[in-house]
Amino acid sequence: MRRISPVLQQDGVEPELIALLKTILAACREISFRVSQGELAGVLGSTLGENIQGETQKKLDVIANELLKEVILETGVVKAISSEEEDHIVAGNPQGKYLVTFDPLDGSSNTDINSLIGTIFSILPADPAKAPDDASLFLQPGTAQVAAGYVLYGPSTMLALTTGHGTRLYTLDNTYGGFLLTGDQAAIPKYTTEFALNMSNQRFWQEPMQRYVADLLLGKTGPRGKNFNMRWIAAMVGDVHRVLCRGGIFAYPRDTKDSTKPDKLRLMYEANPMSFLVEQAGGISSTGYERIMEIIPTDIHQRVAVILGSKHEVETCIGYHKA
């Protein structure tokens, strides 16, 4: 089985970017170990604080955030980082070529029930003309990403990674201490009968999503002419991983449940990196009205509606938004 570096070298990825990715993955290996120790390491449960999103921080959120921040800034090739758990961007080396955004622990409500969680990251080029404490550095569309990935802390620890040469899956080999290639070129099937949505929000969705899901639920006797099955992990990393492995549609649509927060998922820390991975595996990713990776962000903590996965199914859902 192949290690990461030769695979990335073969794709022509710059040595500095390879080194940065390996540093991020070293931090993820450490997070994986802490996660696997669970209660034994005293890392479960919440802190007393809240993050910028107004969400309670889990102890593991804070540990993962600190670990990533420290090792990424030490590389010297990163101009600034932006984390879901930090109110503001954190400046790095003014000469750094890259910007890193990350969600240190996605699905953190799953930590206390020993269920799936993960780290999501994205790497963008840094504008040499801007200062490292200038947040506008990050206001680039997802199409500018040079790499994106997630590490899923599940029964085995897995990495999905893209540098724009397809999406590959790796598995952490604890005996060797690194990630080994276990799934070359993920290919999301075009058609699916599986959907992932938080159905408890159904009554708060906008009309196009209501119609789309109502038709799905009618199954074989409805306009779709086939039965669908539902899955919901409550951690985007887990749901997107399933989509990469066997297809499906994952959506967190806009809703009216909380008027201050019509969209739930974060553009920079969740939607853009996942969209890059999904598109590189042959799927598509949209808000229902536009391609997610073409959105020009106006704020680092911006949220967005997400519909992604199997090409035909996402296109069908988009069709309901156009009607």
Q: Which stretch binds ligand AFP (CB under 6 A): 37-45, 103-111, 125-133, 166-174?
A: 103-111
Per-residue binding string, ligand AFP, 225-264, x by CB under 6 A, is ---------xxx---------------x-----------x
30 annotated ligand-binding residue: no
Taking a C-beta distance cutoff of 8 angstroms, is the pair 249, 135 a contact? Answer: no
166 annotated ligand-binding residue: no
Asked if 16 is part of the footprint of ligand AFP (rule: CB under 6 A), the reply reads: no
Asked if 21 is part of the footprint of ligand AFP (rule: CB under 6 A), the reply reads: no
Number of residues binding to ligand AFP, judged by CB under 6 A: 12
Identity of residue 221: T
23, 65, 101, 108: which one binds ligand AFP (CB under 6 A): 108
Identity of residue 278: V
Q: What is the dihedral of CA 286, 288, 294, 295, to 10 degrees?
A: -120
Strands (E) across the chain are located at 46-50, 56-58, 78-83, 90-91, 98-106, 117-125, 147-153, 157-162, 167-173, 178-183, 194-196, 229-230, 249-252, 265-266, 284-286, 303-304, 306-309
Considering only residues 36 to 65 of the shown chain, the ones binding ligand AFP according to CB under 6 A are 55
- Give CA angle at 282 (281, 286), nearest 5°: 105
Identity of residue 258: D
Closest contact distance (angstroms) between CB of 210 and ligand AFP is 17
66 annotated ligand-binding residue: no
152 annotated ligand-binding residue: no
Q: Around 309, how many Cα atoms within 13 Å sit in the side-chain half-sphere?
A: 30
Asked if 7 is part of the footprint of ligand AFP (rule: CB under 6 A), the reply reads: no
The residues facing 151 across adjacent strands are 119, 159
43, 265, 293, 305: which one binds ligand AFP (CB under 6 A): 265
Asked if 106 is part of the footprint of ligand AFP (rule: CB under 6 A), the reply reads: yes
| Residues annotated within a binding site | 84, 103, 105-109, 198, 264, 270
Residues making up the annotated binding site for Mg(2+) are 84, 103, 105-106, 270
